[in-house]
Amino acid sequence: MRSPSIEIISKVVHELIDQHCGRDGPTEELYVPDHWPDVEKFNSFVSTISQLIVHSVDFKHGQTFKFTGDLPEEVKKSVHEAIEMRRAEIKTGLIDKIISSPSSIISLPSPLTVMKDFDWQVKMVLASNLLSEINESLINLDLSLVKSVSKGFESLSDQEEISSIEMDKSEIRQLIEKLEGLMDKLDH
């Protein structure tokens, strides 16, 4: 039974990262039967590594992620090094994929954070202990966020949290401009 060399595994991992960044990925014809014994094992490896690539975006630099399946240590090390080396490129590619096709969000594995609801309040700050007259309006924006969390690439659980943001007029204008820009990108 054939087993791919570490160089071939590294090449496939980099081709998978290329695929997540919008370029061509690995094909069965190049690797089966010369390097993998059969198509099923090749596709299983590709699927596992693809999920790791997408999930790795949420890990901080230097933080390790767990591998599912029985992969040799040198393979795990090679995969980890490739992902670490190209983390920024992976993240940019996934963001571009989401922006260019909002429906592609559905096909991305979790974790995925979605805004469930929002609430806002306007406050008028008249004075403070330092200044006798401020007369500034502030907006409190509460975002109810739901984060879908994957456990072993199988079951999902949702975690809900509320993020509160206090903004002045200029920050509100910046937020509105960014949201309008995003809407324009989603419309095209």
Task: Dump pLDDT digits (tens) for 49-70.
Answer: 887 887 776 555 555 566 656 7
d(C-alpha 113, C-alpha 183), whole Å: 18
Name the pTM for this structure: 0.53
> Do 162 and 142 contact (CB within 8 A), yes or no?
yes
Give the per-residue pLDDT at 103. 45
d(C-alpha 137, C-alpha 181), whole Å: 25
Both structure tokens of 16:
């998978």
pLDDT band at 108 (very low <50, low <70, confident <90, very high): very low
In the predicted model, what is the mean pLDDT of residues 147-160?
Answer: 57
Q: Which of 33, 72, 36, 94 is nearest to 12 (CA)?
A: 36
Give the per-residue pLDDT at 69. 61
Q: Is the pLDDT of residue 161 over 60?
A: yes
Q: Is the pLDDT of residue 178 over 90?
A: no
Q: Is the pLDDT of residue 109 over 50?
A: no
d(C-alpha 32, C-alpha 41), whole Å: 9
